[in-house]
């Protein structure tokens, strides 16, 4: 008789919503180009370079804060390499209100854009580029929220204004992807979801993925074949790594 209530309990569990979100690889955007028909970076106050290659920031998409995730979804996510099951409050720490979550994420993005601009211009000043006080930057990634595009916005600004500092592109003509927050002083921070972001990067043609050093093991977990992982810690060391990569020199790997 004990099997009856156990079976009933399992049945209820399978039907009940659980406090998880299921994430998967999202879109990517080349910060040197356009996103949804608009330039990602609009820069005034200086002459811009013509760039080649791509600098692709990466995203993940997750079930919404008000969507029910059930036991079957969780089990499916655990056994698929292109899905990740995450506690809902780690994805949506501000609750279940969709509009409030969107406002919070877009606020994080605006703050990230400001820090990315400060970091990039600070780097250029430190490397002898004149006139940075006259430069104004506006970034537009539509409704993409969160702070994880910060590193790539900084790299895009540097590439458009100064390239590798010797007349070449930071990308070396490659499709470079990655993720990372950035502080105004150029320090790169962790972002989460990098195992899914590497898949988005490879899907969209990237051959190199810049990953915050602390997340190397996560990025290695489901790394697509042919994608090179380069660990990064600061904006300056990231530019150095891209220069070395372009020249065919040794570059750190995860």
**pLDDT tens per residue across span 87-98:** 777 667 665 666
Decide if 104 is inside a domain. yes
| Residues contacting 249, CB < 8 A, separation 6+ | none
- Is 80 exceeded by the pLDDT of residue 217? yes
Q: Structure pTM? A: 0.86
Please classify residue 5 by burial: count the beta carbons closer than 10 Å to its beta carbon, then call 0-12 exposed, 13-18 middle and 19+ buried: exposed
Decide if 39 is inside a domain. yes
* Structural domain total, the chain: 1
pLDDT of 8 reads 45
CA-to-CA distance for 99 and 68, rounded, in angstroms? 17
Query: CA distances (Å), 226 to each of 152, 159, 181, in order?
Result: 21, 25, 25
Cα–Cα nearest to 86, from 94, 78, 97, 98: 78
Decide if 194 is inside a domain. yes
pLDDT of 77 reads 63
Please give the residue range of the domain that contains residue 37: 24-62+95-247
Cα–Cα nearest to 156, from 205, 187, 119: 119
CA-to-CA distance for 45 and 137, rounded, in angstroms? 9
Decide if 90 is inside a domain. no
Backbone angles phi, psi at 115, to 5 degrees: -65, -40
Cα–Cα nearest to 85, from 25, 20, 26: 20
Decide if 107 is inside a domain. yes
CA-to-CA distance for 209 and 221, rounded, in angstroms? 14
Decide if 237 is inside a domain. yes
130: domain CATH number is 3.30.230.10
Backbone angles phi, psi at 188, to 5 degrees: -95, 135
Eight-class DSSP state of 79? T
**What average pLDDT does this structure show over 134-139?**
96
**What average pLDDT does this structure show over 215-230?**
94
Model pLDDT for residues 4-25, shown as the tens digit of each residue: 554 444 444 455 566 778 888 9
When computed from its CA atoms, the radius of gyration of the chain, rounded to whole angstroms, is 20
Decide if 82 is inside a domain. no
Weakest mean pLDDT among 1-15, 76-90, 182-196, 236-250: 1-15
């Amino acid at each position: 008789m004990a099997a009856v209530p156990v079976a009933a309990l399992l049945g209820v569990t399978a039907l009940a919503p659980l406090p998880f979100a299921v994430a998967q690889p999202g879109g990517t955007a080349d910060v040197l180009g356009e996103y949804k028909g608009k330039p990602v970076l609009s820069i005034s106050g200086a002459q811009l370079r013509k760039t080649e290659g791509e600098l692709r920031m990466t995203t993940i998409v997750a079930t919404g804060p008000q969507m029910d995730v059930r036991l079957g979804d969780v089990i499916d996510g655990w056994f698929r390499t292109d899905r990740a099951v995450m506690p809902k409050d780690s994805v949506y720490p501000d609750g279940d209100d969709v509009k409030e979550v969107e406002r919070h994420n877009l606020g994080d993005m605006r703050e990230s854009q400001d820090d990315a601009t400060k970091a990039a211009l600070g780097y250029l000043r430190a490397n002898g580029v004149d006139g940075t006080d006259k430069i104004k930057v506006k970034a537009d990634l539509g409704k993409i929220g969160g702070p994880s595009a910060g590193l790539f916005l900084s790299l895009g600004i540097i590439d458009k204004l100064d390239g590798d500092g010797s007349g070449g592109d930071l990308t070396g003509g490659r499709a470079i992807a990655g993720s990372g927050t950035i502080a105004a002083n150029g320090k790169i921070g962790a972002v989460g979801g990098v195992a899914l972001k590497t898949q988005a990067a490879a899907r969209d043609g990237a051959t190199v993925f810049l990953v915050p050093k602390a997340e190397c093991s996560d990025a290695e977990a489901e790394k697509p074949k042919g994608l090179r992982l380069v660990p990064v810690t600061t904006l300056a060391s990231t530019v150095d790594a891209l220069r070395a990569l372009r020249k065919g020199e040794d570059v750190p790997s995860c």
